[in-house]
Structure 1
Amino acid sequence: MGKKQLWMVIAALIMLNCLTLVFFLSKVNEASGVLANEEAVATVGKVTISRQDWLNELEARYGKDVLKEMIDQRVIEEMAAKYKIKISDQEVEREFRMLQTTNHSFSQKNIKNEKKWKEQIRASLLLEELLTKDVVVSNKELKSYYAKNKSLFNVPTFYHISHIIVKTKKEAEKASKELSQGSSFSALAMERSIEEFSANEGGDIGYISEEDERYPKPYIETAKKLKKGTYSKPIKVEQGYALLKLEGKINGKNYSYDEVKEEIRRQIALEQMKSPASAATFWDEAKVDWFYGSNNKSN
């Protein structure tokens, strides 16, 4: 499982967790009585959609996937305990740092789920360790991989930026004045910015580095001079004028061989595996029996 695949799995698990929350909170309401089940969640003309109709549809569409994800998490926990496998906080932090800086949609909205992201990262790393626990890779092979892929372990400094783009300098100066008087940067971005995609996110464009070619060079040069929470003077850009706000910063780090050798061992071992990396590998050992059949582990 490559890093890109790992982060896709993590994102999918977060989505399933959200569905789990909606589904099971609704089930709690259901337990409060029949009236809750018949509560209307929508009406279309004279037709009513009840809470129970909604719950039935949720279960039909997502019930199996959500249940499987819950089982997988419990299986990983039990197998990790059985084989005395642990993942250090340092490893989780490293993966979280990489996730933040490589996922361009990792905005302020997403950072609020930091605890959940880290839980999923830990679960994914535990699964990798379980799947590769018996694989031995020589020091020579590990060091060779590190030498050939050293750039993967050298993380540049990243700046978390929000911006407001307007057509004229006059508009930019007006927005700057309003900010100095206490106006919200994100509210002004949604109201004034002509860059629609980021405007919908309150101007948030995520993390960028000097190597990023998506944004003008002045963005990084300006961000380096800002303190967290402060904003820039208007700067000239192709679309007009931009105001930048520094939301945060992740300092660059060059990871040593000793810091990443276990990650490299897992990576080499996983690349040699012919079967998909899945917690279902341990279902029989964990004696899983579920609603959809004890031998049916597929999605």
Structure 2
Amino acid sequence: MGKKQLWMIIAGLIMLNCLTIAFFLAKGTGAGGTAINDEAVATVGKQSITRQEWLNELEKRYGKDILKELIDQKVIREMAKKYDIKISDQEVEREFRLLQASNSAFNQKNQLDEKRWKEQIRDSLLLQELLTKDVIISDKELQSYYQKNKDLYEVPEIYHLSHIVVKTKDEASKAIKELAQGSSFSALAMEKSIDEFSANEGGDIGYISDGDERYPESYIATAKKLKKKAYSKPFKIDDGFAIIKMEGKTSGKKYSFNEVKKQVRRQLALEQMKTPASASSFWKEAKVDWFYGKNKETN
């Protein structure tokens, strides 16, 4: 299982967690325990959509997947406890940084918070350890793989940036003047930036690093000169003029073989497996009994 597969597992878990929140919010009750499923959650002219209709549709579309995700989470943790498998905070942090550096999923303010991401990463790594707990790979093989794939275990310097993009140099100068007078960078981005997607997020474009093709090379070159919370002078880009702000920076790191040895072992062991990485293979052992088939439907 490579980075893309791991990322798909984590992204899938996170998507289902979002759906879970929406699903159970819909099952709320009013003051004193009174059911509020007849409450209108939307109106279209004189027609309304009740909470119960919304709930029914959520259950119809996502109910099985949400329930399966919740079961998988408990199965993973139960089996990890049974086999005394643990994932260190250092491993979670390292995987988080590697994913952060190699995926564009961390490019919006409205993404789930860091704690939630790390919980999903920990569960994913626990599952990998469970699936490969009986696989033995020699140190020679591990060393060989590491030497050939060192770049997989290097985190570049990562910059968290916001930007304001305007069409003309004159507009950029006016924006700089307003910033100097104390105006909020995020408020100006929402008001003036022609990049509507990031403007809606107060100009936040998330994390970028060297080689990121989403933004001009001048973004990184300029970012390297900025201190935290400082903003740049306007500079020319294809769409006009940009001003960037340094929200934060994460230093680069090259992980040694000993630091990532367990990770390399999981990688090689999972590549040898012919079955998909799924917690479903532990359902019988965990004695799962569920609404959609009592252990008969696990896909």
For Structure 1 versus Structure 2, the TM-score category normalised by the shorter chain is: over 0.9
Distance 1:29 1:103, change over 3 A: farther
The aligned residue for residue 208 of structure 2 is 208
Which position in structure 2 is the counterpart of 1:70? 70
207-216 vs 80-89, which deviates more?
A: 207-216
Partners of 2:283 and 2:295 within 8 A in 1: no
Inter-CA distance 109–11: structure 2 relative to 1 (3 Å threshold): same
Measure the CA separation in 2 of the matches of 1:182 and 1:112: 30
Is this contact kept in 1: 2:108–2:205, CA < 8 A? no
- Contact map agreement 1:157 1:252 (CA 8 A) in 2: yes
Q: Are residue 144 (structure 1) and residue 144 (structure 2) matched?
A: yes
CA RMSD of aligned residues (A): 1.7
Q: In the alignment, does 2:39 pair up with 1:39?
A: yes
| Alignment of structure 1 residues 149-298 onto 2, 5 Å | 149-298=149-298
1:225 is displaced (CA, Å) by 1.4
User: Shift in Å at residue 129 of structure 1?
Assistant: 0.2
1:125 matched to which residue of 2? 125
Unaligned runs of 5+ in 2: none
Bigger drift between 70-79 and 199-208 goes to 199-208
State whether residues 98 and 154 of structure 2, in contact with CA within 8 Å, keep that contact through their aligned partners in structure 1: no
- Quote the residue 1:80 is aligned against: 80
TM-score normalised by structure 2 residue count:
0.94
Distance, in Å, in 2 between the alignment partners of 1:223 and 1:170 is: 22
Alignment of 1:16-55 (within 5 A): 16-29=16-29, 32-34=33-35, 36-55=36-55
SS in 2 for 1:37: coil
Report deviation, 1:99: 2.0
1:96-153 Cα offsets, whole Å, 9 max, x none, are: 1122222224135246511111100000000000000000001110000001101111
Structure 1: distance between partners of 2:260 and 2:248: 26
Moved more, 182-191 or 286-295: 182-191
Name stretches of at least 5 consecutive residues in structure 1 with no aligned partner: none
Task: Indicate the SS of the match to 1:28.
Answer: coil
CA distance in 1, matches of 2:40, 2:174: 47
Distance 1:298 1:78 in 2: 17
User: Which has the higher mean CA deviation after the structures are superposed, 199-208 or 239-248?
Assistant: 199-208
Q: Deviations over 1:166-212 (max 9, x none)?
A: 11111101111111222222222222122233323322222222222
> CA shift at 1:264, angstroms?
0.6
Report the alpha carbon displacement of residue 154 of structure 1 after superposing the two structures with TM: 1.7
Alpha-carbon distance between aligned partners in 2 of 1:144 and 1:253, rounded to the nearest angstrom: 21
Residue 68 of structure 1 and its aligned partner are, at CA, apart by: 0.3
SS at match of 2:94: helix
> Which residue identity is paired with 2:34?
G
**Partner Cα distance (1:5, 1:160) in 2:** 25
The answer (yes or no) to whether the contact 1:160–1:249 under 8 Å persists in 2 is yes
Q: Specify the code of the residue in structure 2 equivalent to 1:195.
A: D
* Residue aligning to 2:101: 101
After alignment, is 276-285 or 48-57 more displaced? 48-57
